[in-house]
Amino acid sequence: MNKVSKISVSLVCVFLLSLFFSGCGTTKKEVAPETHSDAHLEKYSKVYLIPSRGDPRNVTPRVLARLKQTGFDVTEVTSDTATIGDQGSGFVVSSGGYVLTCAHVIEKQTNATIWIGSSRYPCRVMVSDTNTDLALLLVTGPHPEFRPLPFATETNYAMGQDVFTMGFPLVQVLGSEPRLNKGLISATVGLEDDPKSIQVSAAVQPGNSGGPLLNPHGEAIGVVNGTLNPGNVFAQTGGSLPQNVNFAIKTGIIRDFLATNHVALTEAVGTNAVEGFEEAKKSLALVRPGNVTEEELKRPTLVCVFGYTSVFGFVWRFHSFQIAFLDLKKSDLVFRTGIDHDNPFGSENGALNDAFVKISHNFFPDRPNPFKK
């Protein structure tokens, strides 16, 4: 497990899944379909399927096939999958449309979509460097002349220096307006004394990755790119969680990265001087990997997660099996079903079909049920 957790927004359902399936198998009865009272299940058609961690019975392909047979537009989530829930921050570095963000925000995508203010712009990923964790985007198509965020001319990092993060944390909860947080430089080096980074106490959340680290004048002095992995620290310390242990890439690394890619770094001198955080906000970009349309953002979307235990008798069968659907944007459980007992005369495929009878009936009540006997 990585010691540093990258903080672009991705699916939070792995955590939800661990909570949801806790206690599975404690009640020896069938799990009745559970539906959120305000779910309106018929509005959903798009589903992201999260494979089960450890799948000895190779159940994921069978769930995927049944989701498609039910009528869902389904995508299996892999390390290369970009979902509309993935999101980070970035900022303009040239008036011609170059935008700087973190490589882990873009993942392996060749395209990206940004929002500056309320305007959407498709972008091409010009370069994504996983060694520096920096990526450079270029707006494609017509666009106005952008205002680049200037970098401070002096970047003498010192412990106790006031710093600010600005970006788009937790967009699905907080909204799409930029958020500003204040902290200080805790160390002039990063994790394991990495000289390319600094440690800051300014709060960061999922979605802050790629946003600027600012000085009190609203000038960039770094790029926010990570936080200490809480799970790793919890395991190593026997129960302690890190608090405000976050990291940013230093200006020297950014300067070299931009120079290598023939983009001049804009410095805060003369007419480029920033007049404060409100001016800096005009250069900020909300970044999503892939080509994301406004219609897709409005489309109700699900995440499908499942878990099981399996035993062998006459055939392989589930001792317990649960499948759940969560609203991607709200992270709310909207439907679940499954079994919580061992049927010695059943089979895994039979249990899956029984579950999908209920799923098909609840999500597509006006269509023929392909699993109904």
* Predicted confidence pLDDT, tens digits, the chain (373 residues): 355 655 544 444 444 444 444 333 333 344 445 655 455 898 998 999 998 878 999 999 999 999 999 999 998 887 666 565 678 999 999 999 999 999 999 988 999 999 999 899 999 999 999 999 999 999 998 888 999 999 998 888 999 999 999 999 988 778 889 999 999 999 999 988 999 999 999 988 889 999 999 999 999 999 999 887 555 544 455 555 446 789 999 999 999 999 999 998 888 775 555 568 999 999 999 999 998 888 888 888 899 999 999 998 888 999 899 999 998 877 789 999 998 877 788 899 999 999 999 999 999 999 999 998 7
Tell me which of 294, 328, 350 is where a domain ends.
294
Q: H or E element: which one contains 214?
A: strand 212-214
* Residue 206: inside a domain: yes
User: Hunting for tokens 């009272």 — which residue is that?
Assistant: 37
One domain for residues 209 and 271: yes
* Residue 110: inside a domain: yes
pLDDT at 155: 85
* Residue 69: inside a domain: yes
One domain for residues 74 and 164: no
State both tokens at 343: 């049927």
Assess contact for 183 and 244: CB atoms under 8 A.
yes
One domain for residues 157 and 257: yes
Tell me which of 261, 294, 327 is where a domain ends.
294
* Residue 373: inside a domain: no
Which structural domain, as residue segments, surrounds residue 329? Answer: 4-81+299-363
DSSP codes of every residue in 300-349: -EEEEEEEEEEEESSSEEEEEEEEEEEETTT--EEEEEEE-S--TT--HH
Structural domain count of the chain: 2
One domain for residues 151 and 210: yes
* Strand locations in 84-161 (E): 88-92, 98-101, 111-116, 119-129, 134-139
One domain for residues 177 and 272: yes
- How many residues in the chain? 373
Any idea what the CATH number is for the domain that residue 117 is in? 2.40.10.120
One domain for residues 134 and 242: yes
* Residue 369: inside a domain: no
* Residue 305: inside a domain: yes
One domain for residues 10 and 106: no
* Residue 144: inside a domain: yes
- Residue 263 phi/psi, 5-degree rounding, is -120, 125
One domain for residues 287 and 143: yes
As a whole number of angstroms, the distance between CA 83 and CA 290 comes to: 8
* Strand locations in 229-300 (E): 246-250, 284-289
As a whole number of angstroms, the distance between CA 258 and CA 253 comes to: 9
Tell me which of 263, 294, 325 is where a domain ends.
294
- Among residues 273, 280, 254, 272, which one has the least CA distance to residue 167? 280
3-state secondary structure of 352: helix
One domain for residues 341 and 217: no
* Residue 311: inside a domain: yes
One domain for residues 9 and 147: no
One domain for residues 70 and 139: no
What is the Cβ-side half-sphere exposure of residue 266, based on CA atoms within 13 angstroms?
A: 23
What is the Cβ-side half-sphere exposure of residue 373, based on CA atoms within 13 angstroms?
A: 5
Instruction: Report how far apart the first and last C-alpha atoms of the chain are (Å, whole number).
Output: 45
One domain for residues 119 and 235: yes
